Every structure is written in C-alpha cells, then in structure tokens.
Amino acid sequence: MNPNQSILISSNHHNAHSLIIAALILVIIAPLLSACVTPHAPEQKAICDEDNNDMTLCHFYDSDTPYLRSKANHNKQTSTPLTNAMGNTYLMYAGQSQQALHLPQNIRLSVGDRLNVKVLNGEEFSGSVEINNDGYIYLPYLAPIHAKGLDVQALSIKIKQHLVDEQFMLKNSVRLSITPLKWAPVQITVSGGVFEPGQHQINKKSDLEIIDDDGDHSGDQASKRSIAAALRASGGVRPDANIKEIMVIRDQHSFTLDLSGVIHGFPVPSMTLMSGDHIHVPQHDYFDDALARPSQITAPGIRVFLSNLTQPASSNSQSAVDTDATRFPYGTRLLNGAIAANCVGGAQSTNASRHLLLITKNPLTAQVDVIERSMDELIRHSWETGMNPILMPGDGIACYDSRVTNIREIARSITEVLVPATLLELL
C-alpha cells in the first residue's frame, strides 16, 4: 500500500472519529442546555412560594406560584375590595349627596383668571383685568384689590367697598357686574395612590382652542379644573387607591369626596379646583382589579415593553412587535400582552411550550417583581388573577422559545464550531 494512501486512510478514520465524538457531545449537551428555558433563577431568599409569599421579601415567582399584588400575604387583607361593594347603591348615592352639601359650590379665583369689571356710571373704573402672580387685580384710580381665593360675588363686594372707602361713589349708588372671561390653567399637587404624584398643571388650553376663542363672548367653562382632570394629569389612580375617601386640601380646610360612582356609573360630587389645591388619594393594602380599567380618574391606556426574538424571526420588527403593539387599554392582562408580542401560535408541536417573563413594578411595595409563566399553563389558567395578572404601565414582557427550538439552536451553534474545525483538519 502506498504510504500516502495509508496516511489518508488514517486521517479519514481520525476525522470520522472526531465527528462521532462531536455528535455524542451534541446529543449529551443539547438536552442539558435546552433545560434552561428561561434565565437562571435568583437566590433562594428572593423566590416566592406558598410558604414565603410576602411581597416585601421575595420578588421572583415561578410558573406555579400565583402573583397577587399586596403589601403582605394576600390572605391577610384587612379591607373589602371595591368589587364587593357594588350592591349598596342607595347608601353610596345618599352619602355622596351629603358630601356635596359641604363642598364649595362657587369657583374660586386663581392667578391668571381674566375678568371683565363694569361699574354703572363709572366707566373710568371699568375694564378687563387679570389676576397677577401676587393675587391682586388693578382697576383705574383704585388701590390694588386682592382677588385670589375669592369667588365672583365676594370680589364684587370688595370692589364696592373700595369705591365707597375712596369716596368715589355713595354706598347705595354702587352698581357693578363682574363677568369671567377666561379661567386660567392652575397648578395643583397630588399625592398618594396615583401613578405620577407631584405638581401638575390642569385646564391648559391647546393652541387651537386659544385661536378659536375670539373673545367676542363672555363667560368661560372650567371643565378641566375638576378633580377628575387632576387625577388624570397625575397618571390616574392606582388599583390600590381608596377612591371613597379622596381628600382635597385648600388652605386650612379639607374636603372628603367619594368618587366610587365613577366606576359604578352613579353621580359623583363635583368641586372646581383653584391654584394651590392639594389632592391626597388614600391607599389600601390590596390590589383592586375593578380600578384597573379606563375611566375618568384612571389611565386610558398603558405602554408595555415587549421582547420577542423568535426563530426564524431575528428581530422585533420581523416579529411584528412595533409601537402600536406595545400600547394597550388599561386593564389588559398578561395573556393578551403575550398574544400582542406573538408569543402564542405557530406550529403546536414545536412552539407550544414557550415561556415568558413579566417584569413589573408592584405599585403597593414599589419593588420590581419577576414573574415566570409557561405559555401552556398561562392559557389553562387565564381566568385566574394570580396566574394571569393585570399589566401595569412600564411593564416588560420577554418571550423565550420552546425546548425544540432551543435544541435546534444549540445544535446549530455547536455545529458551527465543530464542523469548521474538522474541515481545517482535512486540509
């Protein structure tokens, strides 16, 4: 036998032996690596289970652990959710009517409000005025008059008194009218159970509304100086909010309002806000699903971050995950978000066993929680709140491929490393 042929045969045997070893390695390693469908679990102390379900201590929920948002164990709720109080409509309505009797009914003037003051037989004292930052209005020949915090009637009495005190007119001969021309935007503060507490501006008109208002009419609506507008400006109330005892603090006075009628469809008390008002929304220690829906005092929609790097799609755009797919009505649950991310569907035998992660910030604890769900189990238990939680603003959903796809990708990765090495040996 030719020595070169002997060397070639020996080399072929060696290459075949290498390929056999590579195949055995592939068969052994691929199933082991494919078992890691989702990232490695965190430390044991952070994992929640039936014995450790305190949301202030644990933050990772596996596929079998329900996720019920609360400050402590969900079995220790001390209050009654709003959903269990829907039948007592008469008492609810009667309570709201009594509340409304104690609320200020007249609009209080704020900085920037524009008024038209007319004095009968006193045109030199008449004119259109605007409340300055110092809270005063300035009429010709009169000393500055403090108007902030007064209603129109109280301001009228004050102007009359100035005219009499300055001896411009007799007490019984003063006749004047005050007509509101424009209610200005006002700064209010909101605290408690809302998504964006802090200072907010309400009743701000758009440029188009300002252009359409030609000024040929008297009077102005103050519809956007309501409590509902202030709560919407603060991102809406959270599902742990106690909307039966919302407090409005004005100067040294406080008013308590029951706004539960917004959710149930019954009348609610109204109060026009003024600059400097503070709204506090008390909080429960539980998560009320009934508040997680679009309304006048909740967020109309939410934005959720999605990641679905599936195969054969190699990017979110190819998976049809665009800006429209990440916007949901408030109250959307995890399964609907998974469907929007294209995590559900496809070949059943190779794509049904997908997993996903929900990264959410619990509004009750202000902690970030991670919830793992099997797509099969999520569909089977979609009607259970703990297994199919409601999405919150800013949540993140990440989808992971099925085990079959994982094995295929692992095999492809190993092949891309071993096959070129074998070819190099042949050369």
Position with higher pLDDT, 35 vs 252: 252
In this prediction, residues 357-368 reach a mean pLDDT of 88
In this prediction, residues 285-306 reach a mean pLDDT of 89
- Locate 52 and state its tokens: 């450790």
Nearest CA-CA partner of 370 in 393, 398, 344, 343: 398
Using CB atoms within 10 A of its CB, is residue 114 exposed (0-12), middle (13-18) or buried (19+)? middle
DSSP per residue, 166-209:
TTSS-GGG--EEEEEEEPPPEEEEEEESBSS-EEEEESPPPHHH
Q: Look up residue 341 and give its DSSP letter.
A: T
Place 315 in a pLDDT band, splitting at 50, 70 and 90: low
- On whether the CB atoms of residues 288 and 240 are closer than 8 A, the answer is yes
Rounded to the nearest angstrom, the gap between the alpha carbon of residue 314 and the centroid of all alpha carbons in its chain is 30
- Locate 87 and state its tokens: 């039948």
Say which amino acid occupies 412.
R
Q: How far apart are CA 54 and CA 408, in angstroms?
A: 39
Of 189-193, 283-287, 319-323, the least confident: 319-323
- Locate 126 and state its tokens: 């008449």
Position with higher pLDDT, 320 vs 271: 271
Percent of the chain with pLDDT over 70: 65
Q: Tell me which range, 70-79, 228-237, 263-272, is most confidently predicted by mean pLDDT.
A: 228-237
Give the model's pLDDT for residue 89: 35
In this prediction, residues 87-101 reach a mean pLDDT of 40
Say which amino acid occupies 348.
Q
3-class DSSP state of 109: coil
Nearest CA-CA partner of 232 in 184, 325, 301: 301
In this prediction, residues 108-128 reach a mean pLDDT of 89
- On whether the CB atoms of residues 220 and 180 are closer than 8 A, the answer is yes
Residue for token digits 């259970």?
Answer: 384
Q: Is the pLDDT of residue 113 over 50?
A: yes
Give the model's pLDDT for residue 8: 42
Say which amino acid occupies 374.
S
Please report, in angstroms and rounded to a whole number, the separation of the first and last CA atoms in the chain. Answer: 22
Q: How many residues does the chain have?
A: 427
Q: How far apart are CA 42 and CA 422, in angstroms?
A: 39
Give the model's pLDDT for residue 95: 44
3-class DSSP state of 292: coil
Using CB atoms within 10 A of its CB, is residue 141 exposed (0-12), middle (13-18) or buried (19+)? exposed
Q: Is the pLDDT of residue 413 over 80?
A: no
Q: Which residues share a beta bridge with 328?
A: 302
In this prediction, residues 41-67 reach a mean pLDDT of 76
Q: Is the pLDDT of residue 79 over 60?
A: no
Q: How far apart are CA 372 and CA 384, in angstroms?
A: 15
- Locate 413 and state its tokens: 């990765």
Nearest CA-CA partner of 271 in 288, 249, 241, 286: 249
pLDDT digits 0-9 by tens, 375-389: 888 888 999 989 999
Give the model's pLDDT for residue 76: 41
Rounded to the nearest angstrom, the gap between the alpha carbon of residue 341 and the centroid of all alpha carbons in its chain is 20
Q: In the sheet where 396-400 sits, what is the strand order?
A: 47-48, 60-61, 367-374, 355-362, 396-400, 305-307
In this prediction, residues 336-342 reach a mean pLDDT of 86
Nearest CA-CA partner of 363 in 259, 286, 279, 280: 286
Residue 67: how many CA atoms within 13 Å on its side-chain side?
A: 29
Rounded to the nearest angstrom, the gap between the alpha carbon of residue 106 and the centroid of all alpha carbons in its chain is 32
Give the model's pLDDT for residue 144: 92
Say which amino acid occupies 339.
I
Position with higher pLDDT, 366 vs 313: 366
Give the model's pLDDT for residue 364: 85
Give the model's pLDDT for residue 20: 55
Q: How far apart are CA 277 and CA 143, in angstroms?
A: 28
Give the model's pLDDT for residue 52: 61
Residue for token digits 């003063």?
Answer: 174
pTM: 0.73
Q: Tell me which range, 29-33, 35-39, 281-285, is most confidently predicted by mean pLDDT.
A: 281-285
Q: Look up residue 399 and give its DSSP letter.
A: E
> Which 3-state string (H, E, C) describes 48-59?
ECCCCCCCCCCC
**DSSP 3-state percent helix, strand, coil across the chain (nearest 5):** 35, 20, 45
Give the model's pLDDT for residue 121: 86
Place 210 in a pLDDT band, splitting at 50, 70 and 90: low
- On whether the CB atoms of residues 158 and 117 are closer than 8 A, the answer is no
